[in-house]
Structure 1
Amino acid sequence: MTESPSNPAEQRRVRVWFGTHPIADHTSALDQAAQYEEAMRRRFASLRVTNEPVLTATTPGRVR
């Protein structure tokens, strides 16, 4: 897949949580994040694992 302004590659953030504290934080492309999430769920079966989209920052005050 090729990145372009109209079709950016989706980035995902996978985190492993110990209570309210993240103990692992990984950001990668969609397919790699899914593999990482699966591996972390196997490794840390009793902990919460989240997989969320990475929010892109926008320039404040700029409207198109």
Structure 2
Amino acid sequence: MSESLEIATEHRRVRVWFGAHPIADHTAAADQAAQYEEAMRRRFASLRVTNEPVPAATTLETAR
């Protein structure tokens, strides 16, 4: 079994919102998510951009 667990890496979920509807949804490691968030804030200056932690259980399930 060659399953790798990312225990020390925190994952973040970045979303761009048009009103109540997300138009972009991206999950990545914290440093990459911060770069993505910055890029989305520049590109969509008038829209809301959120950057939230992803629970560890969700991260492990999506990695499979």
Q: TM-score range by the shorter chain?
A: 0.7 to 0.9
> How much identity, in percent, do the aligned residues show?
78
- The equivalent of 1:43 in structure 2 is 43
Residues 12 and 40 (structure 1), Cα distance of their counterparts in 2 relative to 1, 3 Å cut: same
Amino acid at match of 1:12: R
Partners of 1:28 and 1:34 lie apart in 2 by 9
- 4+ runs deviating over 4 angstroms: none
Gaps of 5+ in 2: 59-64
Equivalent residues, number = 55
Alignment of 1:2-13 (within 5 A): 7-13=7-13
Partners of 2:10 and 2:57 lie apart in 1 by 14
Gaps of 5+ in 1: 59-64
Residue 14 of structure 2 aligns to a residue in which SS?
strand
| TM-score normalised by the chain length of structure 2 | 0.76
| TM-score normalised by the chain length of structure 1 | 0.76
Partners of 1:4 and 1:24 lie apart in 2 by 26
| Cα RMSD (Å) | 2.0
Structure exhibiting the larger radius of gyration computed from Cα positions: 1
